[in-house]
């Protein structure tokens, strides 16, 4: 009986959030560039149970706030938001903030690259 309890605790510890996943838990906000509006006010909440809530408000275009939910994973400091209708979003977790990556997982370069950072709240 003791062995079963020990094994259960060991398996729970193994499959629960990794230390890397734990460090990204929190709320992030920022305004990212938009091709046909004045910016996309973006908020992400990452929770302990590996779920996320993403809110997007297209400023100057619509007062409607778009909300998406799903799960996320963290690997090598890259947070992957899964379960989105239009594919996964990728973010680099660095300096306590999230930096949006392109669809291939590369940093976005150029003069507006600093605008793709969501700050931890």
Q: In this predicted model, what pLDDT tens digit does every residue of 12-22 receive, in sequence order?
A: 444 444 555 67
Q: In this predicted model, what pLDDT tens digit does every residue of 77-121 receive, in sequence order?
A: 999 999 877 778 999 999 999 999 998 999 999 999 999 999 999
Q: Is residue 6 part of a domain?
A: no
Question: Is pLDDT above 60 for 4?
Answer: no
Q: Is residue 11 part of a domain?
A: no
CATH number of the domain residue 36 falls in: 2.40.128.640
Q: Is residue 13 part of a domain?
A: no
Which residue range forms the structural domain that includes residue 81?
A: 18-120
Number of folded domains in the chain?
A: 1
Q: Is residue 5 part of a domain?
A: no
For 40, half-sphere exposure in the C-beta direction (CA atoms, 13 angstrom radius) is: 18
Given this model, what pLDDT does residue 56 score?
96
Question: Is pLDDT above 90 for 75?
Answer: yes
């Amino acid at each position: 009986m003791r062995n079963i309890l020990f094994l259960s605790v060991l398996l729970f510890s193994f499959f629960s959030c990794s230390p890397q996943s734990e460090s990204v838990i929190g709320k992030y906000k920022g305004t990212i560039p938009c091709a046909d509006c004045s910016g996309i006010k973006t908020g992400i909440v990452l929770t302990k149970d590996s779920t996320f809530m993403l809110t997007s408000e297209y400023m100057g275009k619509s007062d409607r706030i778009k909300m998406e939910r799903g799960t996320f994973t963290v690997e090598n400091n890259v947070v992957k938001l899964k379960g989105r209708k239009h594919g996964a979003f990728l973010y680099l977790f660095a300096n306590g903030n999230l930096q949006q990556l392109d669809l291939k997982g590369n940093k976005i370069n150029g003069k507006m690259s600093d605008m793709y950072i969501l700050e931890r709240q």
